[in-house]
């Protein structure tokens, strides 16, 4: 029994450590925005285009990825995902043309979503019984965060010791490429075959149709869409501090890593605890939205002067805490919205496709604002956009809460 328990948690650790780094290259803009601009010699708009290409491919991969995870061994899928992502990262380290970079990030949408995301979720679920699911996913999320922080600080060191920013980018991409391939090999060797841990029931098309017709699916989808739009705007909080307030690259690298990877370790579990205490994750998200509006309003009225620097720094950390807390629980209201447990997979796929749709267009729009509007004006547009969707998220959150109460009343 002890041997089986050790094996289970060892495998969970290996899988979660890999999950903590597999998205690093695809989302490098979150922590190393300015380094990417100079390293790849591209504009804000072009970086937005790269992000949109990745987001588009990723978006259309969620549904088929779920089906694929039910048809193909997740051991094979995870191995392909890591080794494929590693090869793409090494290719990217050669600093190819902008056209090739677009191809690379498009293919990363395949290796990190189509062959990876649903397989990862299914693997974590298979490692624990029904009573252990919260523990499994909670530990996986925590380990992912720790892995992400360690990798990011190593990368920060690589960039600092490099002679040029381009050299730092090359070193970063090579580092991640090697890590991805190593994790892929470890996964191939250590991960048991699906028959050893059991399999779920296969995908049924009727589930997808039923989920599509269910009102709760669209309510949760709207909530995820609003919060994901807000999450996308946080990618520009760090560039705002460097370009508008002139914060040094060394200080901003540390802050960006803490913001992008460290805060979630505490924020997501805390949000889940509060959601359980309030007996409504949708209400928790609504209150978080209200607090987010207040923080963004302070952002807008804070003078752009050196003596006020600590205000946007603190606001960035507080706002990031809210956003990562929301990310940790914004799928949780599925139960409140009356989505049956049997439709969870199909509903999650639909919610992911539509809820993450901003990846297809929002970075192009925001990158264009920064390229075409002077000084802080582009960033102000981004902050206003965040406020708009926070207000919408507040309305949707409270509506789901009320809708959930009405469902409970009907079932009594």
Residue 345 has a pLDDT of: 66
Please compute the mean of the pLDDT values over residues 259-282 and round it to a whole number.
Answer: 77
Residues 188 and 242 in one domain: no
143 and 266 co-located in one domain: no
- Higher pLDDT: 52 or 156? It is 52
Q: Which class for 282: exposed (0-12), middle (13-18), buried (19 or more C-beta within 10 A)?
A: buried
C-alpha 267/C-alpha 238 separation (Å) is 19
Of residues 286 and 68, the one with the higher pLDDT is 286
Task: Indicate whether 330 and 408 sit together in one domain.
Answer: yes
Structural domain ending residue among the three candidates 150, 165, 199: 199
- Contact of 161 with 35, CB cutoff 8 Å: no
Separation of alpha carbons 275 and 295, rounded Å? 21
Whose structure tokens read 């780094």? Answer: 21
Residues 219 and 171 in one domain: no
Least confident interval from 123-132, 171-180, 228-237: 123-132
Residues 234 and 359 in one domain: yes
Question: What pLDDT digit, counting tens, does each position of 338-390 carry?
Answer: 888 677 767 877 888 889 888 888 988 998 999 998 888 999 999 999 999 99
Banded pLDDT at 2 (limits 50, 70, 90):
low
Residue that is last in its domain, among 141, 171, 199: 199
Cβ atoms of 50 and 107 closer than 8 Å:
no
Q: Which among 269, 310, 321, 367 is positioned nearest to 50, based on CA atoms?
A: 367
Buried b (16+ CB within 10 A) or exposed e, 376-401: eebbbbbbebbbebbebbbebbbbbb
**Which among 77, 64, 75, 72 has a CA at the least distance from the CA of 115?**
77
How far apart are alpha carbons 109 and 115 in whole angstroms? 9
Beta-carbon count within 10 A of 139 CB: 18
The pTM (predicted TM-score) of the whole model is: 0.74
> For residue 197, what pLDDT is reported?
42
pLDDT of residue 25: 92
266 or 42, which is more confident = 42
Predicted pLDDT at 90: 97
Q: Residue 216: give its domain's CATH number.
A: 1.20.1250.20
User: What percent of the chain stands above pLDDT 70?
Assistant: 90
Residue 397 has pLDDT above 60, yes or no: yes
User: Distance between CA 181 and CA 118 in Å, rounded?
Assistant: 20
Pair (267, 305) in one structural domain: yes
Q: Which of 6-20, 69-83, 95-109, 358-372 has the highest mean pLDDT?
A: 95-109
Residue 31: the pLDDT is: 64
193 and 340 housed in the same domain: no
Together in a domain, 117 and 258: no
CB-based contact 212:46 (threshold 8 Å): no
On the question of pLDDT at 100 being above 90, the answer is yes
pLDDT at 7 over 90: no
Q: Are residues 192 and 236 in the same domain?
A: no
Q: Please check the confidence at residue 262 and state whether its pLDDT lies above 80.
A: no
CA distances from 85 to 176, 179, 189 (A): 9, 10, 18
- With contact defined as beta carbons under 8 Å apart, do 316 and 259 qualify? yes
Q: Is the pLDDT of residue 76 over 60?
A: yes
Mean pLDDT, rounded, for 260-284: 78
Q: CA–CA separation, 190 vs 167, rounded Å? A: 34
- 114 compared with 68, residue with greater pLDDT: 114
Asked if residue 130 and residue 251 are part of one domain, the reply reads no
Question: Could you say which of 199, 228, 262 is where a domain stops?
Answer: 199
Task: Examine the domain organization and report whether 333 and 390 are in the same domain.
Answer: yes
Domain that holds residue 10: 1-199
Residue 12 pLDDT exceeds 90: no
What is the mean pLDDT of the segment spanning 264-277? 76
On the CB side of 169, CA atoms within 13 Å amount to: 21
Provide mean pLDDT across the span 225-241. Answer: 91
Tell whether the model's pLDDT for residue 44 goes beyond 80.
yes
pLDDT digits (tens, 9 = 90+) for 131-168: 454 456 656 767 787 888 888 778 878 878 887 777 88
Task: Please count the structural domains in the chain.
Answer: 2
Q: Which ranges in 162-214 belong to alpha helices (H)?
A: 165-190, 194-197, 205-213
What's the Cα-to-Cα distance from 208 to each of 73, 214, 251, 317, 331, rounded to whole Å? Answer: 22, 10, 47, 38, 17
In degrees, rounded to 5, the angle at the alpha carbon of residue 395 between the alpha carbons of residues 389 and 400 is 120
pLDDT, mean of residues 206-233: 91
Q: CA-to-CA distance for 67 and 350, rounded, in angstroms? A: 12
Res. 87: pLDDT tops 90: yes
Q: Are residues 249 and 326 in the same domain?
A: yes
Tens of pLDDT, residue by residue over 274-330, are: 877 787 888 989 999 999 999 999 989 998 888 888 998 899 999 999 998 888 778
């Amino acid at each position: 029994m002890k041997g089986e328990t050790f094996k289970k948690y060892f495998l969970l650790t290996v899988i979660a450590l890999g999950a903590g780094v597999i998205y690093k290259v695809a989302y490098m803009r979150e922590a190393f925005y300015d380094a990417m601009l100079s390293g790849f010699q591209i504009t804000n708009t072009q970086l937005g285009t790269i992000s949109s290409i990745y987001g588009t491919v990723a978006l259309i991969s969620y549904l088929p990825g779920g089906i694929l995870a039910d048809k193909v061994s997740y051991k094979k899928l995870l191995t392909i995902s890591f080794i494929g992502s590693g090869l793409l990262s090494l290719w990217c380290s050669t600093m190819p043309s902008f056209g090739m970079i677009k191809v690379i990030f498009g293919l990363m949408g395949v290796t990190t979503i189509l062959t990876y995301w649903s397989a990862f979720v299914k693997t974590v679920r298979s490692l624990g019984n029904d009573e252990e699911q919260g523990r499994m996913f909670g530990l996986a999320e925590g380990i992912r965060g720790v892995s992400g922080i360690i990798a990011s600080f190593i990368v920060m060191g690589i960039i600092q010791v490099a002679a040029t920013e381009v050299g730092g980018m090359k070193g970063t991409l090579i580092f991640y490429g090697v890590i991805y391939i190593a994790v892929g090999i470890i996964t191939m060797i250590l991960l048991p075959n699906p028959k050893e841990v059991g399999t779920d029931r296969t995908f049924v098309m009727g589930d997808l149709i039923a989920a599509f017709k269910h009102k709760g699916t669209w309510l949760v989808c709207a909530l995820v869409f609003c919060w994901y739009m807000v999450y996308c705007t946080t990618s520009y909080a760090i560039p705002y501090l460097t370009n508008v307030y002139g914060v040094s690259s060394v200080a901003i690298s540390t802050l960006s890593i803490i913001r992008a990877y460290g805060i979630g370790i505490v924020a997501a579990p805390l949000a889940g605890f509060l959601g359980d205490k309030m007996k409504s994750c949708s209400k928790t998200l609504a209150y978080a939205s209200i607090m987010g509006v207040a923080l963004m309003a302070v952002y807008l009225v804070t003078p752009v002067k050196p003596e006020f620097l600590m205000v946007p720094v603190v606001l960035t950390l507080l706002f990031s805490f809210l956003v990562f807390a929301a990310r940790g629980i914004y799928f949780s209201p599925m139960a409140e919205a009356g989505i049956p447990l049997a439709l969870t997979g199909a509903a999650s796929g639909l919610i992911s496709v539509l809820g993450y749709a901003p990846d297809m267009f929002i970075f192009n729009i925001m990158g264009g604002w920064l390229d075409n509007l002077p000084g802080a004006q582009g960033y102000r547009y981004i902050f206003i956009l965040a406020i708009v969707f926070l207000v919408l998220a507040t309305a949707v959150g409270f509506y789901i809460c009320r809708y959930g109460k009405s469902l409970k009343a009907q079932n009594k």
